[in-house]
Amino acid sequence: MTSLAKTIASFSRAEGILAVLFGLGFVLGFLLTPLGVETRIHELRTPVFAAFFITIGLLLPLAGLVSLFLRKAKLAGVLAVIDASFSFLIPPADQAKFFFTVSPPPAVFVGEYILILVGIGYMLYGARVYSQTR
């Protein structure tokens, strides 16, 4: 059995679900970039928003996943709740044209609302993982 398989096998149920959620959040975050389905990069109001999207969509889920594999479950729980808090704000702000000067394309619209469901999972399992590690 490899060390990666041992690490995954040693996850609690909540940690395993949180790891899957972080992976799903990372994939969705990647798809919601210009490398995926986002086509409005030239209509971005300021480059600061690009950094915000990269942090929320890619860096926080990746950091949470890495912290789970490094057995820092408490940190992963905190990162999950922080990421969820910001993920809930993105779709309504995007619909209100806060980040871009045009409305989101349908694929981005759907992806952002799927990200809200992932955020709900982050809230539920991030808090559970945090409370299990004492």
Residue range 91-107: average pLDDT? 93
pLDDT value at position 35? Answer: 84
Determine, yes or no, domain membership for 115.
yes
Binning the chain into helix, strand and coil, the percentages to the nearest 5 are 75, 0, 25
Write out pLDDT tens, residues 23-82: 999 999 999 988 889 999 899 999 999 899 999 999 999 999 999 999 999 999 999 999
Nearest to 29, CA basis, from 104, 114, 125:
114
Rounded average pLDDT over 96-119: 93
* Mean pLDDT, rounded, for 4-16: 76
Q: Is the pLDDT of residue 96 over 90?
A: yes
Q: Which domain, by its residues, includes 87?
A: 11-37+47-132
> How far is it, in rounded angstroms, from Cα 93 to Cα 57?
15
Q: Does residue 4 sit within a domain?
A: no
Q: Give the chain's domain count.
A: 1
